[in-house]
Amino acid sequence: MSPRDTSYAGVMARKNEIMKVSLGIDYDRYVHSPVSFDYERMMADTGYTHAEIARIQRETKVGDTPLFELRNLTNAVRKISPPGKGATILVKDEAANASGSFKARRASISAYEAAKKGFKGIIAATSGNYGAAVASQAAQRGLKAIIIQEVYDSRGVGQPEIVEKGRACEAYGAEVLKLSVGPELFYLLLLTLEDTGFFNASLYTPFGIRGVESLGMEIAGQVRARYGKDPDAVVITHAGGGNLTGTARGLLAAGCDQTRVVACSVDLSGLHMASDHDFNRKSFTTGHTGFGVPFAVWPDRVDVPRNAARSMRYMDEYQLVTQGEVFYVTELLTKLEGLERGPAGNTSLTAAITLARQMDQDQIVVVQETEYTGAGKHQNAQLSFARENGIEVRRGNPEENVPGKTIVIPERLDQVWGKPQDMTRLRISYLKNAARNHPLESWDEVDIRFIAEDLKTSPEWVRQQMTGLEI
């Protein structure tokens, strides 16, 4: 027997087969072309009903999290809003899940599926809360867990938030493989999956997205039970898109078809995701534009053949906020509402304040998640680290924020004002990416319908934009 080729090129050549074995999903069954596939069939083939998902999650301390009305913050927002404006702000406290974030929902179904199929362990590549979620769920299912994490820059320096998350993974019993930033992450994931025969608990499988659907279902049920109506808007932190996709699918399954789904990311424009120089100049490791924009305009850039997280399908609006605004709102949440939650989880709360100022007082805006905080995740640790890396931190007008150079924390609540993004521009960016992967002249009606669904628009609009599209 010839030795296995473990070179980068050799492993990459086997990636589809490795994924098939480690997931039990034959993506070829769903593919129509380089841009289109049978998305809903892929999601349905997971085989889980919403009732089954809720039951599975209850077994491992996930779901049924509280929904709080932020009365003091709502009143503060009304004081700076025009007469009659200032929607009621609610927050879904996902820090109550085992592992302390909504990602426990994502990991719960993957861990259950792995155990059901007889896998001995699960693997995930992530620097975020998902690693802790996978480790926590694996521990409860009697599975081994390996987390592959980008932690350090070339100096061996790691952000306190990422280091904290690695510590949490180890506390739950996971083996953590710690890397410096670079292209090795996906390679090592594939190699480790092949070496161990473990289940691939990727963030972007249908199992993970189906697990988040329970969050949308719970929001719908809790708001209806308490207020006798559907939420008018739900604000969702947007990174890779799974949070938004799963929650929105759950809302739709519950019948909330008139609820506005608003994405929100921290504006880190100009900082490159894979740059060693920029790695430690980001005070937010996820939920920022370095993930949010690329994944919105081309979802299929992940570690599985087709991404089940397809945020543009469900997104009505996209807001950006600054780092300083999020840090300010994090402090405000603690002092006004007595809730100390991690800054990254307060990204959507920051955008919700902007929305509430423009909505009527009888309307409801739901902040879809919180996350736990800890020594490394606390805003003081993050701001101290920023200063150590030469970033100026000061109070003032957040419009003066410069990613990687300056963090400007507002002095007053009325300075918190998110920036809406041009949805047409984002849709056209998606079209350009699709055309680079599959030439326009090759698109058929199936492709056009799929793209229209992916962009929450019409086939007619897609055809119109195809004319004269500059690639």
- pLDDT tens column, 182-236: 778 889 999 999 999 999 999 999 999 999 999 999 999 999 999 999 999 999 9
C-alpha distances (whole Å) from 353 to each of 71, 171, 413 are 13, 35, 9
Pairing of strands 406-409, 260-266: unpaired
Taking 50 as the pLDDT cut, the residues of the chain under it are none
Which amino acid does the sequence have at 10? G
Q: What are phi and psi of 458, to 5 degrees?
A: -110, 155
Tokens linked to 294: 């690329």
pLDDT of residue 183: 75
Pick the CATH number of 8-23+101-206 from 1.10.10.520, 3.40.50.1100, 3.40.50.720, 2.60.40.3080: 3.40.50.1100
Query: 50-103, pLDDT tens digit by residue?
Result: 999 999 999 999 999 999 999 999 999 999 999 999 999 999 999 999 999 999
- Sequence-ordered list of residues with C-beta below 8 angstroms from that of 301, at least 6 positions apart, any chain: 294, 295, 307
- Phi and psi torsions of 307, nearest 5°: -80, 125
Tokens representing residue 52 in the block: 């089954």
pLDDT score at 2: 58
Q: For residue 421, with 0-12 CB atoms within 10 Å meaning exposed, 13-18 middle and 19 or more buried, which class applies?
A: buried
User: What CATH number does the domain located at 53-98+207-420 have?
Assistant: 3.40.50.1100
